[in-house]
A and B are shown apart, each in its own frame.
Chain A
Amino acid sequence: MNENVYILENLKQSSPIIQLAWCLSGIFFVIITMLIMYLKYLRNHLRENEKIETKYQEEYETHLITYLYAGNDDDTLSLEQQSIINELKTCIVDPFKRKIVVSTLLKLRNEISGEIAESIDKLYIELGLLSYSLAKLRNKKWDIIAIGIRELTQFKVKGVHKVVMNNINHPKKEVRKEMQLYLIHLFSFKGLNFLNVLETSLSEWDQIQLLEVLQVANNTEIADIRPWLKSSNDSVVIFSLKLAKVYNQFEAKEELIELLDSKSENVRVNTIAALSHLNIIEAKNILKTNFAERSHEEQIAFLKMMENVYESSDKAFLLEHMQHKNFEIKLLVMEILKNINFEEYPFYESEFQKSLIA
Chain B
Amino acid sequence: MGNSKKIVLAEDNSVLSLLLKFRLEKEGYELLIAIDGKQAIELIEEHKPELILTDIMMPFVSGLEVISHVRNKLNLQTPIIVFSSAGQEEIVLKAFDLGATDFMSKPLSPHELVIRVKRLLI
Contact = CB atoms under 8 A, between A and B. Distances in A.
Interface of A: 57-58, 61-62, 64-65, 68-69, 104, 107-108, 110-117, 216
B15 A107 contact: yes
B106 interface: yes
Contacts of A57: 14
Given A114-B111, A115-B111, A62 B106 contact: no
Contacts of B106: 111-112
Contact of B15 (A64, A114, A216): A64
Contact of B107 (A64, A65, A110, A115): A110
Interface stretch (B1-9, B16-24, B38-46, B74-82): B16-24
A174 B110 CA distance: 34
Contacts of B23: 69
B108 interface: yes
Interface of B: 13-16, 18-19, 22-23, 26, 86, 106-112
Contact of A68 (B19, B86, B107, B111): B19
Contacts of B111: 114-115
Nearest to B19: A65
Contact of B108 (A69, A104, A111, A216): A111
Given A61-B14, A111-B16, A111-B107, 14 more contacts: A65-B15, A69-B22, A69-B26, A104-B15, A107-B15, A108-B13, A111-B13, A111-B106, A111-B108, A112-B108, A113-B109, A114-B111, A116-B109, A117-B107
Contacts of A69: 22-23, 26
Chain B CB count within 10 A is highest, among A61, A68, A112, for: A112
B107 A112 contact: yes
Q: Looking at B26, B109, B112, which has the most chain A CB atoms within 10 Å of its CB?
A: B109
Contacts of B14: 57-58, 61, 107
A114 B18 contact: no
6 contacts: A69-B26, A107-B13, A110-B107, A111-B108, A114-B110, A114-B112
A297 B107 CA distance: 43
A116 B107 CA distance: 11
Nearest to A66: B22
A62 B18 contact: yes
B15 A61 contact: yes
Contacts of B86: 216
A110 B107 CA distance: 6
- Interchain residue pairs A-B with the least CB separation, the first 10: A114-B109, A113-B107, A61-B15, A108-B15, A111-B16, A107-B15, A65-B18, A113-B109, A112-B107, A111-B106
A304 B13 CA distance: 48
B27 to A, nearest CB: 12
A57 B18 CA distance: 13
A42 B90 CA distance: 43
A357 to B, nearest CB: 46
A117 B111 CA distance: 12
